[in-house]
Amino acid sequence: MSQHHQPSTLAELGRTWIEVWNARDLERVLTLYADDVVMTSDRIPAMGFDESGTVRGKDVLRAYWGKALGLLPNLHFSLIELFVSPDSVAVLYENERGKRICEYLRVNAAGKIVQGSANHLPH
């Protein structure tokens, strides 16, 4: 059972998420996530990880993102908007290639991300 988080706390998490990605500090990114995190993205099978598009656990997530960062030397996210619910933040941003992405981040009672979904435009 997740508890309600303050909108300001969730918005801050979203801003921090953008900042740590832009710092290219994978270990700092991972500190925002719970050990049992589940992450879903169409990039996961494209990068040679699980065909389902979902990876489970921080260790697999580290391997996936480590590979991705190695291929994206110019990675940079520009925040467009943040949306909050009692247990999640959705981060709408633009990447270094001008693509808009909405990242859904659900948090547990401790405020760590337990579920992440990268949502891309369908074209």
Residue 83 has a pLDDT of: 98
Residue 14 has a pLDDT of: 98
Question: Please, which residues bridge with residue 81 across strands?
Answer: 92
Residue 76 has a pLDDT of: 97
Residue 116 has a pLDDT of: 98
* Mean pLDDT split into 10-residue runs, the chain, 123 residues: 80 98 96 98 93 96 94 95 97 97 97 97 86
Q: How far apart are CA 78 and CA 36, in angstroms?
A: 28
- The pTM of the full predicted model, rounded to 2 decimals, is 0.93
CB 15 within 8 Å of CB 35 = no
Residue 3 has a pLDDT of: 67
Closest Cα partner for 46 from 37, 55, 38? 55
Residue 101 has a pLDDT of: 97
CB 47 within 8 Å of CB 64 = yes
The CATH number for 7-120, chosen from 3.30.379.10, 3.10.450.50, 3.90.1150.10, 3.90.226.10, is 3.10.450.50
Rounded to the nearest 10 degrees, how much is the dihedral formed by the CA atoms of 13, 82, 68, 23?
-50
